[in-house]
Structure 1
Amino acid sequence: KFTQTSFDLQISESTKPGARFILGSAHDADIGTNSLQNYQLNPNDHFSLVNKEKQDGGKYPELVLKTPLDREEQKSYQLTLTALDCGDPPLSSTAQIQVLVTDANDNPPVFSQELYRVSVLENVLPGTPVLRVMATDQDEGVNAQITFSFTEAGQITQFDLNSITGEITILSRLDFEEVKEYSIVLEARDGGGMIAQCTVEIEVQDINDNIPEVVFQSLRDIIMEDTNLGTHVALLKIRDKDSGHNGEVICKLEGDVPFKIVSSSINTYKLVTDGILDREQTPEYNVTITATDRGKPPLSSSSSITLHIGDVNDNPPVFEQPSYVVHVAENNPPGASIAQVSASDPDLGT
C-alpha cells in the first residue's frame, strides 16, 4: 500500500531523455512471495519505469524520461503507478502521478507581422500614435514577458516606442520635403534573452505647406522700344517643394502690360514682349508675376520686377509753331537778334 494516493512531480521541458526521478514506494506487511515484488506504470510515450532494490531488499520505483518534453504542446501528464505482490490471489495498490512540465525559455518572441506599413501626414503633432506592433511568446512567466526597443535607438529622433505596449508615437515634427519614408527595425526581447525582429516602414504624406516661389534667373537691363514682338526679356523658374497637386503651379502675369509669359519647360517660363513699346509714353513697367499651386487650399506668392524701356531715334524734332512772322527795323546793325525759334524732340541723348 502506498503512503499517499497521489504524487506531484515537476520536470523542466529542457530535461534530457534518460533522466531518472525516484518515486514514493509502497509498503507490504506480508512476507515472501506475498510481499511487494515490483511496480508497473501505465503505457505512455514519454515515461518508463525501472524497479530498483535497496540494500535491505526493499524495492522502490524510478521514473525514467524516454523522450523530450515540450510544455507548449502538453503541460502535464497523468500517470498511474501500480505496486504488485505475487500472492495467491495477487494484490495490488495504485497511486496517481501528476507530472507538471515546467517552462524553459526555448521559444523566441514572434511578431504578428514581419513587416508593418503605415502612412502619416507630415503635419501630425508630437504624441500622435502611429501604430502598435504586437509579439507573442509561447513560453510562460518571465520567459514570456516581452519588451520592445529600436535596434538603432540613438539614430531615431522622430519617433518614440513604448517598451511595454509596443506603441510607436510621433516624437518630433515630420517634414515630407526632408524625409519621405522611414524604415525602422524593432526588436522584441523576452525575459530569458531571446529576441525577434521586425521592420516598420512609415510613409510621410505631403500636405500643402510650402509656398511656391518665383525666381528670376536672367533679366535684361534695358528693353529697346523698337524690340520685336516675342522678344525674350527674362527667364524665370517656379519652385515648390511640395509634391503631387500641391507642387503643381500655375503662373500668371498681373495687370495690363505689353508682355506675356510662355512656358519653356517644367516650372520654367520666359517673359516675352507682347505689344508695342513706346518709351516716350511709358519709360518703365512694373511687372508682377503670381505663382499659385493646386493644393487645397492653394498657396501663392508674387514677385515684381521693373523693366526699363530704352530709347531709339523714332521721333523727328518738332517746332513750337509751324510758321513765324518777324518784323525787322531797317536800321538794325548787322548781328543783331531779330527773332528766336524753338523746336523739341521727345527722344533722348543726341
Structure 2
Amino acid sequence: MRLNYYAIKSLRRFDRETVPSYRIELIARDFGQTSLRRSMILDLNITDVNDEKPVFKSNYTFDLIENNPIPSTIGQITAFDADQGLNGQIKYSIVPSSSHFLISSHDGIISTNISFDYELKREYNFKVRATDHGKPPLESTVHVKVHIINQNEYSPEFDKNTYHFSMDENSTNHTITFVGRVKAKDRDFGDYVTYALNDNEHLFTIDQNGSIWTDAIFDREIKDEYKLSVIAVDNSTDGLIGSTIVIIQIK
C-alpha cells in the first residue's frame, strides 16, 4: 500500500471573531477502473490572536448627591473585547489616576474616595481605560462625566438681622410707593428665593426682588412705627426658611 501525503492550504485570511471554526469534508479517490473513494470530516478551529481592542458602547454620565459617604458607588463602566481567553479579559483604570474616584480593575465599578461639595464644584470629568491581557495588550478609553447634585443644606440668609426704613406721613396719596428693599441669599440656590411678609394690617406688600411697597396713607400721630417679619424660602422641595425684621418709621 502506497501512502500519499497532502497539505491543506488556506486561500484567504481567517477571522476567528467572524467564524471561529470550519467543518471540511475531505474525499480521497483512486484512479482504478472502478473508482473507489473514501471521505472524512476535518474540524478546523481558528486560533485566537489579540487583534481586537476593548470597545465601550458610549460615554458615561453619572449623578452623585453631594455630602456622600465614603466610599459611595457611582456606577459601572463596561467594555467588550471580542477576543478569546486572556486576549479578551479586561482590566480597568482611571487615567490619569484620581484622588477623587476609584475603579475596580476587574468589574469597572466606580466609587468615591472623597465626599463632594456642590458649592465647591458641580462637575467632574475623567477617562477610564480598558486594557486586555494580550501580548502586546490592546486598550481603549471612554469619557466619564459626574454631575454633583445639590443637597439642600442651608437656609436663606438675609444680609441684615434688622432693616430700618422710613417714610413721610401722608406721602403716598394712595399711589404705590417704594418703602425699601431686603436681600437674602441661599448658599445652595444663590438668589433663587421667594419672599413673603407677615403684615396683619395688610398695609405692605413685597415682590420677588425683596422690594417692599405700600399704597396706604400713614398718620404719624396715630402710629409712628410698623414692625414686620419678612421670610425668604428657598426653591427646594423641603423649602428651608430664613427670616428678618423690618422696622418702618413714619416721619
- TM-score calculated relative to the size of structure 1: 0.54
Q: 1:228 to 1:109 in 2, by over 3 A?
A: same
Q: 1:247 to 1:125 in 2, by over 3 A?
A: farther
Shift of 1:107: 0.5
Secondary structure in 1 aligned to 2:52? coil
Secondary structure in 2 aligned to 1:39? coil
User: Which of 189, 205, 208 is matched with 2:152 structurally?
Assistant: 208
Q: Give the aligned CA root-mean-square deviation in angstroms.
A: 4.1
Are 1:303 and 2:244 counterparts?
A: yes
Deviations 1:41-81 (A, max 9, x none): xxxxxxxx3xxxxxxxxxxxxx4443222222344455677
The 1-side partners of 2:169 and 2:36 are apart by 132
The 2-side partners of 1:272 and 1:94 are apart by 104
User: Which of 186, 189, 195 is matched with 1:240 structurally?
Assistant: 186
The 2-side partners of 1:184 and 1:242 are apart by 25
Query: Please, which runs of 5 or more residues in structure 1 have no aligned partner?
Result: 1-27, 29-34, 41-48, 50-62, 311-350
Q: How does 1:77-88 map to 2 (within 5 A)?
A: 77=22
User: Which of 232, 236, 242 is matched with 1:291 structurally?
Assistant: 232
Shift of 1:301: 0.9
Shift of 1:183: 4.0
- Are the equivalent residues in 2 in contact too, given 1:215–1:238 (CA < 8 A)? yes
Secondary structure in 1 aligned to 2:87? helix
Q: How does 1:1-350 map to 2 (within 5 A)?
A: 28=1, 35-36=2-3, 38-40=4-6, 49=7, 63-77=8-22, 99-111=44-56, 113-122=57-66, 124-154=68-98, 157=100, 159-192=101-134, 193-215=137-159, 223=166, 226=169, 228-229=171-172, 231-242=177-188, 249-254=193-198, 260-263=204-207, 267-272=208-213, 274=216, 276=218, 278=220, 282=224, 287-304=228-245
Q: 1:197 to 1:224 in 2, by over 3 A?
A: closer
- Are the equivalent residues in 1 in contact too, given 2:195–2:206 (CA < 8 A)? no
User: Which has the greater radius of gyration?
Assistant: 1
Q: 1:153 to 1:163 in 2, by over 3 A?
A: same
Structure with greater contact order relative to length (CA < 8 Å, sep ≥ 6): 2
- TM-score calculated relative to the size of structure 2: 0.71
- Are the equivalent residues in 1 in contact too, given 2:103–2:111 (CA < 8 A)? yes
Q: 1:83 to 1:271 in 2, by over 3 A?
A: closer
The 2-side partners of 1:98 and 1:281 are apart by 106
Q: 1:77 to 1:225 in 2, by over 3 A?
A: closer
Deviations 1:211-234 (A, max 9, x none): 122236xx76x7365472355443
Aligned length: 243
